[in-house]
């Protein structure tokens, strides 16, 4: 086979995730089951070859917990808001497609931001421009330019949280410098 070897360390997060999936599906976290799962996971990772996902090498759990809390609050407000819009506004809804330029150029972080945004208040990722890391979002109930500006700030705030959790060192430094003014 003419593909480059991927070092085990880059495959490790994927293998661990697959072992956890295996354990959860069997509802059995005994040692024997996990070892068998690890063998299968290693086989799967090598046999069904995927391009490696480039993680950033940083992960901050202390920022993750409040982020999950913020995410859940936004999830609830978004769902209730959509329900309310469906009941009250219905066909008279006005939307917008807003372009938001992100700070980071890492594919992984842009994907994570897009994922989080697709799940929280009134936004849906339509297109991603990788060369400028710009997200094009479809947003519900946008009437004025001020609403669009609010959405841009919201998106950049979400990205700032994700950079604090798992952004690259350079992105984090840029963010901190930006906040200092």
Partner 1 sequence: MIQDVVVSVLLIGGALMSLAAGVGLVRFPDLLSRMHAATKPQVLGLLLFLLALAVENGSWLLVPVLVLCWVFQLLTSPVSAHMVGRAGYRTRHLRRDLLTLDELDDIVTRAAAAPGHGQGRAGSPAGDPGGGTPGDAATTAEEGGTDGPGAGSPRGGAPDAATTAGEPGGSS
The answer to whether the CB of 82 falls within 8 A of the CB of 119 is no
Give how far Cα 66 sits from Cα of 62, 97, 128, 167, Å. Answer: 8, 29, 27, 16
Task: Return the number of the residue (32 or 91) whose C-beta is nearest partner 1.
Answer: 91
Binding residues for partner 1, per CB under 8 A?
A: 20-21, 23-25, 27, 29, 50-54, 75-76, 78-79, 82-83, 85-87, 90-99, 107-108, 110-111, 114-115, 118-119, 122, 124-131, 136, 138, 140, 142-145, 148
Give how far Cα 141 sits from Cα of 56, 66, 78, 90, 93, Å. Answer: 35, 28, 12, 11, 6
Task: Return the number of the residue (85 or 174) whose C-beta is nearest partner 1.
Answer: 85
The answer to whether the CB of 163 falls within 8 A of the CB of 109 is yes
Task: Return the number of the residue (123 or 172) whose C-beta is nearest partner 1.
Answer: 123
Least distance in angstroms from the C-beta of 180 to partner 1: 30
Task: Return the number of the residue (79 or 173) whose C-beta is nearest partner 1.
Answer: 79
């Amino acid at each position: 086979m003419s593909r480059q070897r991927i070092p085990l360390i880059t495959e490790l997060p994927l293998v661990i995730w697959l072992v956890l999936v295996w354990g959860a599906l069997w509802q059995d976290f005994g040692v024997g089951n996990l070892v068998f799962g690890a063998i299968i996971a290693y086989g799967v990772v090598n046999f069904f070859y995927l391009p490696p996902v480039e993680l950033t090498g940083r992960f901050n759990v202390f920022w993750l917990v409040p982020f999950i809390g913020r995410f859940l609050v936004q999830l609830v407000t978004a769902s209730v808001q959509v329900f309310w819009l469906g009941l009250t506004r219905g066909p008279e809804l006005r939307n917008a497609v807003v372009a938001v330029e992100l700070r980071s150029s890492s594919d992984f972080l842009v994907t994570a931001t897009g994922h989080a945004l697709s799940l929280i208040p009134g936004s849906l990722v339509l297109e991603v421009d990788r060369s400028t890391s710009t997200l094009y979002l479809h947003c519900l109930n946008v009437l004025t330019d001020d609403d669009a500006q609010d959405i841009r700030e919201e998106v950049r705030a979400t990205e700032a949280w994700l950079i604090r959790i798992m952004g690259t060192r350079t992105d984090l430094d840029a963010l901190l410098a930006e906040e200092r003014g």
